[in-house]
């Protein structure tokens, strides 16, 4: 686990403490995040051969989008378009060229109206050399379920059911041609499957210290302190801690993938807070 942190202090008369400042420059992306809050963000549905080989797709279809009702905020969904197997197709053209995703993570939320087709519950990754890897995942339910897939060889199988060796895995994750999250969970052309909050993250690297600004928020009757910081390249999330002094004991109060956090003001004195950038 890699972590770096800075400390910010706040008082009713303004800012105080250590490590203050706000990162104003644009940072490289630490993760690729598709929230679907406003639109499908380039995602489509791919119609695939049932039981494989899964690539290339037989056809592509658009997604329905809603600004509410998702795992968080908006989401996308699609009714089964055919008697083939369909899957959500990640827009790989949005990813950087030559990015190696081995050792990274894929997280997402999934739901489906049916779960009586049990043989194709996979995340599928296709390499530039045409090799297809499948990662078995639990069947979704009608309620949103969160998935967290470590992009490591032991979580994948080849089309013949064998586990890939390190070289094969590296060849696929080092040049991703396609990535599918299966949506085919009905034994007939019957199901509607939804997707939300997709994040694709590269493997952990050492992370920098977040530069934090503390400012007043809330109302005079219910004052709050807002902590804000710039995105730290390589960070997967940020842990927020409250200290009992400038260099005192730190108590975790929460974590976020965002770059800000609000807390209630407790008492008239100074408060000290710590933000840790984490990759784990």
Is 157 in the same domain as 246? no
Is 194 in the same domain as 83? yes
Is 67 in the same domain as 164? yes
pLDDT for residue 45: 98
Is 82 in the same domain as 210? no
pLDDT for residue 265: 83
Residue 123: give its domain's CATH number.
2.60.120.260
Q: How many domains does the chain have?
A: 2
pLDDT for residue 16: 31
Is 63 in the same domain as 137? yes
Q: Supply the range of the domain harboring residue 90.
A: 32-201
pLDDT for residue 269: 66
Query: In terms of C-beta density within 10 A (0-12 exposed, 13-18 middle, 19 or more buried), how is residue 98 classed?
Result: exposed
Is 10 in the same domain as 40? no
Is 64 in the same domain as 186? yes
Global pTM reads 0.75
Cα gap 115→139, rounded to integer Å = 6
pLDDT for residue 256: 92
Instruction: Please identify, among 152, 184, 201, the residue that sits at the C-terminal boundary of a domain.
Output: 201
The CA radius of gyration of the chain, in Å to the nearest whole number, is 22
Taking alpha carbons only, the member of 280, 247, 241 closest to residue 261 is 241
Residue 227: give its domain's CATH number.
2.60.40
Is 184 in the same domain as 239? no
pLDDT for residue 2: 56
Is 87 in the same domain as 23? no
CA distances 106 to 141, 235, 247, 272, Å, are 19, 14, 36, 34
pLDDT 10s per residue in the chain (280 long)? Answer: 555 555 555 443 333 333 332 322 333 444 689 999 999 999 999 999 999 999 999 999 999 999 999 999 999 999 999 999 999 999 999 999 889 999 999 999 999 999 999 999 999 999 999 999 999 999 999 999 999 999 999 999 999 999 999 999 999 999 999 999 999 999 999 999 999 999 998 998 888 899 999 888 888 888 889 999 998 887 888 999 998 887 889 999 999 988 999 988 876 667 888 999 988 7
Instruction: Please identify, among 201, 227, 255, the residue that sits at the C-terminal boundary of a domain.
Output: 201
Residue 193 token pair: 């499957």
């Amino acid at each position: 686990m890699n972590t770096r942190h800075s400390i910010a202090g706040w008082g009713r008369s303004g800012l105080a403490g250590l490590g203050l400042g706000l990162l104003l420059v644009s940072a490289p992306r630490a993760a690729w995040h598709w929230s679907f809050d406003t639109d499908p963000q380039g995602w489509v549905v791919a119609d695939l051969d049932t039981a494989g080989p899964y690539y290339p797709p037989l056809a592509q279809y658009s997604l329905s989008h809603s600004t509410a009702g998702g795992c968080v905020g908006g989401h996308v969904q699609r009714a089964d378009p055919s008697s083939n197997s369909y899957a959500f197709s990640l827009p790989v053209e949005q990813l950087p060229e030559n990015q190696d995703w081995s050792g990274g993570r894929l997280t997402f939320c999934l739901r489906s109206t049916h779960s009586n087709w049990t043989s194709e519950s996979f995340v599928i990754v296709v390499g530039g050399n045409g090799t297809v890897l499948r990662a078995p995942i639990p069947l979704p339910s009608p309620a949103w379920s969160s998935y967290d897939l470590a992009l490591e060889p032991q979580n994948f199988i080849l089309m013949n059911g064998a586990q890939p060796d390190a070289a094969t895995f590296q060849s696929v994750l080092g040049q991703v041609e396609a990535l599918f999250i299966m949506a085919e969970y009905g034994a007939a052309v019957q199901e509607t499957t939804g997707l939300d909050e997709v994040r694709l993250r590269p493997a952990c690297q050492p992370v920098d210290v977040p530069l934090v600004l503390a400012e007043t928020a809330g109302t005079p009757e219910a004052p709050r302190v807002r902590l804000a910081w710039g995105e730290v390249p390589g960070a997967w999330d940020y842990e927020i801690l409250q200290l009992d002094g400038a260099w005192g004991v730190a108590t975790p109060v929460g974590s976020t993938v965002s770059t800000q956090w609000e807390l209630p003001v407790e008492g008239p004195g100074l408060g000290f807070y710590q933000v840790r950038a984490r990759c784990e």
